[in-house]
């Protein structure tokens, strides 16, 4: 076979293979096989020196011409395949800008926050201002100023979570510490409600959480009596639950009141028949209350001979349970959107 025939055969074969290269990777492999340092065209050109002298000029020219032709063909094929590749990737990543957008999911106010707003509104109409206090509290406000000294057995019933051990700081076990904080900075008449989180190291069940919310209420003035306390909480129950829900006051003990009561409503979940939420009694305790103890008044510099007051602490989740028929207090902090969405109000 003459040199020219060899090169013609090489050119036909290389051209056929290049036409068959289906993608860029195959085209690059083709370039290496024919035009790379160990490619067949390169090897041919390197071998020209060993040909008979008379064949060398023709072989050299023809070999170089073939190299240029193949490099040209390669460049055209590479450009075609690269364009095709880009087209395919664009098609795969295509975004249809005419599709309607996904509506962002809007948050809604938590049922406990809704209850707090509602309670603040009701108490505002009764002349009470809403104020807030710290959740990390000193033992002085959480206990001492509430007539619960350090060695008093009543401290044990509060299931306290201590921030420092041993130490002065606790997570407040109730909103009552705000009674002293408000009175220390205000002169009577005082009428405040204090909503907020409280914490207790307590076993959980359908009506007990370890973190829950209370609403403290405090009224101090001349001539405040137990009738004012009962009237205020009765009005609250009417506003929240309507005229037919029964309410009950029973004697109870809290070191910071004298006398003290517990305030309950008949269980809305079983209509007073008895269930696991009201523990079969037909009543669910909403809060503790009473006439502010003279020692508490003295502790903040008020004269108990001149001023009297009532105070109460209500469980906000319990009120929301009775109001909306929720049968487990743990649902409020459970973070289940199916539960929470039922309370979403239209904006």
Q: How far apart are CA 53 and CA 94, in angstroms?
A: 62
Q: How far apart are CA 304 and CA 296, in angstroms?
A: 9
- For ligand YSA, which stretch binds (CB under 6 A), given 2-10, 24-32, 33-41, 284-292? 284-292
Nearest distance from C-beta of residue 112 to ligand YSA, angstroms? 11
Catalytic residue among 158, 192, 198, 293: 158
CB closest to ligand YSA, residue no: 315
Contact status, residue 171 vs residue 136, Cβ threshold 8 Å: yes
Closest to 159 measured CA to CA, from 151, 171, 150, 168: 171
- For ligand YSA, which stretch binds (CB under 6 A), given 86-94, 147-155, 238-246, 314-322? 314-322
Give the N- to C-terminal CA distance of the chain in Å, as an integer.
Answer: 90
Pick from 34, 77, 172, 174 the residue near ligand YSA by CB under 6 A.
Answer: 174
Query: Is 311 a known active-site residue?
Result: yes
Query: Is 124 a known active-site residue?
Result: no
Pick from 63, 111, 133, 315 the residue near ligand YSA by CB under 6 A.
Answer: 315
Binders in 180-219 for ligand YSA, by CB under 6 A = 200, 202, 208-209, 212, 214
- Prior bond to 171 cis, omega within 30? no
Query: Is 200 a known active-site residue?
Result: yes
Contact status, residue 290 vs residue 311, Cβ threshold 8 Å: yes
3-state secondary structure (DSSP) of residue 46: helix
Task: Closer to ligand YSA by CB, 202 or 235: give it.
Answer: 202
C-alpha count within 13 angstroms, C-beta hemisphere, residue 97: 0
Q: How far apart are CA 180 and CA 131, in angstroms?
A: 13
Query: Is 88 a known active-site residue?
Result: no
What counts of helices (H) and strands (E) characterise the chain? 11, 10
Query: Is 283 a known active-site residue?
Result: no
User: Under the criterion CB under 6 A, does residue 318 sit at the interface with ligand YSA?
Assistant: yes
Pick from 7, 112, 115, 257 the residue near ligand YSA by CB under 6 A.
Answer: 257
Catalytic residue among 206, 257, 265, 277: 257
Provide the token pair at 80: 């075609």
Query: Is 174 a known active-site residue?
Result: yes
The residues of the shown chain that bind ligand YSA, judged by CB under 6 A, are: 174, 176, 200, 202, 208-209, 212, 214, 254, 256-257, 260, 285-290, 311-313, 315, 317-318, 329
């Amino acid at each position: 076979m003459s040199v020219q025939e060899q090169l013609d055969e090489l050119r036909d074969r290389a051209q056929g293979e290049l036409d068959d290269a289906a993608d860029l990777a195959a085209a690059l492999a083709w370039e290496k096989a024919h035009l790379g340092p160990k490619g067949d065209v390169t090897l041919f050109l390197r071998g020209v020196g060993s040909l008979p002298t008379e064949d060398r000029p023709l072989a050299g020219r023809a070999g170089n011409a073939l190299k240029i032709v193949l490099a040209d063909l390669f460049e055209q094929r590479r450009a075609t395949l690269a364009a095709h590749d880009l087209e395919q990737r664009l098609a795969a990543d295509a975004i249809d800008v005419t599709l309607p957008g996904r509506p962002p999911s809007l948050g809604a106010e938590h049922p406990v926050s809704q209850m707090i707003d509602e309670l603040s509104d009701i108490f505002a109409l009764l002349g009470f201002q809403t104020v807030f206090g710290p959740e990390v509290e000193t033992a002085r406000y959480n206990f001492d100023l509430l007539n619960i000294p350090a060695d008093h057995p009543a401290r044990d019933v509060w299931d306290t979570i201590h921030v420092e051990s041993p130490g002065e700081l606790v997570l407040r076990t109730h909103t009552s510490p705000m009674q002293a904080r408000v009175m220390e900075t205000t002169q009577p008449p005082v009428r405040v409600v204090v909503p907020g989180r409280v914490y207790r190291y307590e076993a959980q069940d359908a009506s007990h959480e370890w973190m829950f919310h209370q609403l403290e209420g405090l009224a101090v003035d001349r001539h405040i009596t137990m009738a004012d306390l009962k009237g205020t909480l009765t009005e609250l129950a009417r506003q929240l639950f309507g005229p037919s829900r029964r309410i009950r006051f029973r004697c109870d003990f809290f070191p910071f009141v004298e006398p003290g009561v517990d305030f309950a409503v008949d269980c809305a979940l079983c209509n007073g028949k008895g269930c696991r939420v009201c523990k079969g009694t037909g009543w669910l305790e909403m809060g503790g209350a009473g006439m502010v103890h003279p020692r508490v008044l003295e502790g903040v510099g008020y004269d108990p001979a001149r001023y009297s007051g009532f105070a109460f602490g209500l469980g906000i989740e319990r009120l929301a349970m009775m109001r909306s028929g929720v049968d487990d207090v743990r649902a409020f902090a459970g973070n289940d959107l199916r539960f929470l969405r039922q309370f979403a109000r239209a904006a």
